[in-house]
A and B are shown apart, each in its own frame.
Chain A
Amino acid sequence: MNYGLTTWFPIAVTIGLVGLIVLTMVTINRLIGPRPPHTSVKGEAFECGNPPSGSAWGRFSVRFYLTALLFLVFDVEVVFLYPWAAELRSLGMFGFVEALVYIAILFVGLAYAWRRGVLDWS
């Protein structure tokens, strides 16, 4: 392998381009951008265009957190099942059993959450 400078030349070009683009964008903005006066609305937190309600440090139910965790478990499960489904034939019986074991392990997590009462929202 060659660790000479030539290997790094494309990377140096990329870094240079990144700097150039950022600099151009900032300069153009300064030159032709409108400059409205500062108002209190500009200082507020942005909530999808709605008038913001409450403080950004507001508290919300811990249940959202649990729901997010459960979502993550099954979201990631599906992400892994797609490539498995696409390659099902070439992986054969071994791959099929593997995936079943994988799904079963994730269902243990669901069953545990269910028994701990995470699923009833009251």
Chain B
Amino acid sequence: MSHITLSAINFAWLPILPLAAVAAGAMAIMLIGPGVEDEDSAGLGILALITLLAAMVFAIFTLGENSLAFGGSLATDDYAAFFEIVILIATALTVAMSLDYVADEGMAGAEFYSLILFAAFGMMLMAAAGDLIIVFIGLETMSLAVYALAGFLRRDPRSNEAALKYFILGAFSTGFLLYGIALIYGATGSIGLAPIRAALNDRAAQNPLLLLGLGMMLIGFGFKVAAVPFHMWTPDAYEGAPTPVTAFMAVGVKLAAFAGFMRVFMANLGPVSAQWTMVLWAIAALTMTVGNFAALVQQNLKRMLAYSAIAHAGYLLVGMAATPRAMAGGAMLYYLVGYAFTNLGAFAVVIALERKGAGGATLSDFRGLSRSRPGLALAMTLFMLSLMGVPPLAGFVGKFYVFSAALSAHLVWLVIIAALNSAVSVYYYARVIVVMYAQEEAAAPPRLAAHPGLVVSVIAAVAGTILVGLYPQPWLSAANSAYASALGRPAARVASLR
């Protein structure tokens, strides 16, 4: 072990501040929480929101930092800061939409909010990983917290089933990832991402150990982003988990999984992209098609959104299949921002409509929503249109950039499959709108529709969906420079550190 000098300590403080803030907040809630009654748990949620806000300020301070900390294991580049900020926004919206749900369902607030923050910590760690061990630690910190969150409705068998399925398949996939990490270490002699990239040449690309490691890691990440054929756990886990947790799984976990996936594969295994882009081509085509066609027949909105999340992972993988193109990475980061706002909003509407103990809203719960809750119906319409990919919303612009990146990489057939899939998806998204506007009112009124936390999160999601789509330029240039920082600068920095 090399000697750690004092300058290394000073150097290391800024990069970990956003992470440390989230962890400290989680521990504070763990200590204060047990003294708070479950009905008053909203106070703990507010504490979580303050923590997330503080972490966001720190993350903004680290923008433009572009350095490696802790001997190269933590990358503090714009890529990490970009993902940290988006993950913090997504977590904050999740907490905001949980405030009333958690109190209403009688869930233990101390554990709920601290686990949400610990999961957010793991997600941010994954985005900021400078070596494969940190990718793994971040993934585990996130996953273990989310497994527990998925089973949080302890008396609901569906929630138990969700947690168990998610845990067993998640642990299984983590094994693949870890084995892949070990094989790549064996092939390149390093766990640091930048040294691995430096070790990749034409000769290394023929090394069977490396190829086996690539395949294993692809399976591991495939499980986490819910790509077909590793998607089996998704619908059941999404349906059974408490709805705010489902939103967190669909957005936060997906953001973090793609953050790790993209940094490891696109940015650092890019030199051998010829070895894995063809596999991604097939996975992307399968993921889009299976996700969209399975979503067509769903009556439960949570299940439908689960399959929709699978389909969107497929669209994102189209970008990954275009890897040597630098614009693909920026387009995917932009897509993820729009995806985050839109999906969080859609899940917030589901929370507003579902009845206690019903385990999510069905299509019939949306009947006549345009008359009983016109504002909510309008917001849901917007989210569905954005998921469909209708201009000028965030979903359209994201798809446009990702597909143009794929076209510039000459993936014409994949883009045609993606466009056909988008057309198929119109059916099940539009059905929600039709039910809301064309059918008469449902009997029972929604239970949480007007609670402040939900109203705020729906409004924030609407604002995000419109602004990200209408003014794409600032977001896109931020995304492009973030991806560029993951591609280039840290490698040069590592060379100078040696």
- A residues near B (Cβ < 8 Å) are 1, 3, 87, 90-92, 94-95, 105, 108-109, 111-112, 115-116
Contacts and interface: CB of A to CB of B under 8 A. Distances in A.
A115 B31 contact: yes
A108 B27 contact: yes
Interface string B211-226: 0000000000000000
B207 interface: yes
B31 A111 contact: yes
Contacts of B6: 94
A120 B305 CA distance: 44
Interface residues of B, number: 13
A94 B27 contact: no
Nearest to A115: B34
B297 interface: no
B4 A91 contact: yes
B438 interface: no
A92 B4 contact: yes
A41 B9 CA distance: 64
Contacts of B31: 108, 111-112, 115
A94 B4 contact: yes
Interface in B205-248: 207-208
B3 interface: yes
B3 A90 contact: yes
A94 B34 contact: no
Interface of B: 1, 3-4, 6, 8-9, 27, 30-31, 34-35, 207-208
A84 to B, nearest CB: 12
Nearest to B28: A108
Contacts of B4: 91-92, 94-95
Nearest to A109: B30
Given A94-B4, A95-B4, A3 B208 contact: yes
24 contacts: A1-B207, A3-B207, A3-B208, A87-B1, A90-B3, A92-B4, A94-B4, A94-B6, A94-B8, A94-B9, A95-B4, A105-B27, A108-B27, A108-B30, A108-B31, A109-B30, A111-B31, A112-B30, A112-B31, A112-B34, A115-B31, A115-B34, A115-B35, A116-B34
Contacts of A116: 34
A109 B23 CA distance: 13
B49 to A, nearest CB: 21
Contacts of A105: 27
A108 B31 CA distance: 7
